[in-house]
Amino acid sequence: MKLEGKRLIWQDYQKEIADDHYFYARSCIRQTFFPGAEAVFVKILKDELGKDIHDEQHHTSCTGIGYHSDVVPFDTTMTVVARQFALMTEAGYENYAASCVTSFGLYTEILDTWHHFPEKEAQIREYLFKATGREFTKPKNLAHASDIVYKFRHQIAAKAKYKLVDKNTGKPLKVVEHIGCHYSKMFPHKGIGGAEYPYVLSGMIEAWGGEVIDYPERRHCCGFGFRQYLVQANRGFSLSCSKKKFESMEPYEPDMIITNCPGCPMFLDRWQYALSEMEGKTYGENHNGIPVFTYEEVAGMIMGYDPWEIGLQVHQVPAEPLLDKIGIPYDSSRKFKGKNGEDLGMPESPSYLKFYSE
Amino acid sequence: MEKKAKYFGYSITRDRQIDYDANNHDICKIIAKAEPTLNLCISCGTCAATCTAGQFTDFSLRQVILLLRRGETKSLENEVSKCMLCGKCQLVCPRNVSTRNLVIQIGKALYDKKLSAETVNTK
């Protein structure tokens, strides 16, 4: 990858990220897809970096999925988001940190709408007050959770036990970074590095010792596309998008994929299983897939957290080959055990994709 | 035992991307040597506009040349077989491309290619 030109582009797209005191809004789907990711984010920020982060329990969905699937009107969405801002104001915070890329894109879109149409903002304030009696101040700083991890990437690297390096060869791991479409494709100036060459995950990979792969379909969507997935008959579109990406990255032999969106890790992970069952094709070595992680899980991994504590067992593509490569120890017998040793049950073994159990 | 492909209620849409690296450009090189006027073609489409076969079917000589230059051999084979060799396109071509000979040469090159592939397979 030729970095000179990209660095110039990255310089043009820099944003301010608050240093401390975050109001954290969780994602609806991340908590079920990869439950460890958000827990790791809060743990790293609170315990490792000593930051103040307010994990609000009363906030709701931002309605992003409903909005992008054309079932929730924009006025309703704006009012729901206004309530989230009201909760932030009531908690005494000014820096809003969104866990979800869809939410982040939606908040950006709403704040931009209000900037251009102040009468709309006044109307939404009225709706919110009539419905809930709440008032709000707009966030002083809006950041996606990956922006915050990007900001503190060097501090995390300094505390890390491991690096994204192959322990046998000493060479950096080849990492594919995949950015959620709504992170910066709609508002390039709101993302680090812009829309064409977002730097948010590349920066983390470089700081943590890995090597970023620049492959032809790097900016292609994972295929989630809301309506493409929500209707079963349309899921072929979603699957085909992911397949296009896998075929494009396969010749570069990536060791792992890092994403910053709730949908992308889900689909890039699960579609590898679907493709293997439909076509008998796997994209990694020896019938392994390419493991897909969220940036928080990768941060947790290099910090030396127990892989099963951060939820790596709920990934469809097993993480074990990568853990072995980096040299992160794990106890196979505890893979499918819950927090207090309870048995979570063993999933069905796929036909082609390699499965690792005790 | 052969494992059966699972059906999940949806299917994979085949990619329509044209992969120049994977395509076969040999035939285009052979034709350009056999009929150098191919290099004069500016893809204006006059040939396709005057084509009698094109009036009644979706045949287009312009598309044939496009497929030839892209190296899409399979589609080229399907398309070129629709030509009746009447030569009207040659009369109207503003660049004096010998279109009739071009079609003959494409057919010949494809035939030779098929023949050599069969010879390799039977060896």
pLDDT value of position A229: 85
pLDDT value of position A87: 97
Cβ distance B12 to A233 less than 8 Å, yes or no, reads no
Query: Which tokens belong to B55?
Result: 């009036």
**What type of residue sits at position A65?**
I
Using a pLDDT cut of 70, give the percent of chain A over it: 99
Report pLDDT digits (tens) over A258-295.
999 999 999 999 999 999 999 999 999 888 999 999 99
> Is this complex scored with an ipTM above 0.85?
no
If interface means Cβ-Cβ distance under 8 Å, which residues of chain B face chain A? 3, 5-15, 17
Nearest to A137 by CA among A109, A164, A111, A98: A111
- Give the residues of chain A that fall short of pLDDT 70: 1, 358
Q: Is A142 helix (H, G, I), strand (E, B) or coil?
A: strand
Strands across the sheet with A141-144, in order?
A53-55, A22-25, A95-98, A141-144
Cβ distance B12 to A240 less than 8 Å, yes or no, reads yes
pLDDT value of position B123: 46
Residue B6: CB atoms within 10 Å: 13
pLDDT value of position B61: 96
Best interface-test mutation with B: which of A278, A316, A353 has the largest number of B CBs within 10 A? A278
Report pLDDT digits (tens) over A155-177.
999 999 999 999 999 999 999 99
Domains and CATH numbers, chain B: 26-122 (1.10.1060.10)
| Crossing angle of helices B99-122 and B61-70, rounded to 10° | 40
C-alpha–C-alpha distance, residues A58 and A334, integer Å: 33
pLDDT value of position A232: 86
Could you give the C-alpha distances from A46 to A57, A96, A162, B5, B6, in angstroms and in order?
17, 16, 20, 47, 45
Query: How many Cβ pairs closer than 8 A exist between chain A and B?
Result: 41
Cα distance from A277 to chain B (closest Cα, Å)?
Answer: 6
Report pLDDT digits (tens) over B50-64.
999 999 999 999 999
Could you give the C-alpha distances from A67 to A31, A59, A62, A76, in angstroms and in order?
20, 17, 9, 9
Question: For residue B65, with 0-12 CB atoms within 10 Å meaning exposed, 13-18 middle and 19 or more buried, which class applies?
Answer: buried
Looking at the DSSP bridge assignments, the partners of residue A294 are A259
CB-CB contact of B25 with A296 (8 Å):
no
Cα distance from B58 to chain A (closest Cα, Å)?
Answer: 28
Q: How many CA atoms lie within 13 A of B24 on its CB side?
A: 13
Q: Across the interface, which of B5, B6, B10 has its CB nearest the CB of A239? A: B10
Domains and CATH numbers, chain A: 19-145 (1.20.1050.140), 149-331 (3.40.50.11810)
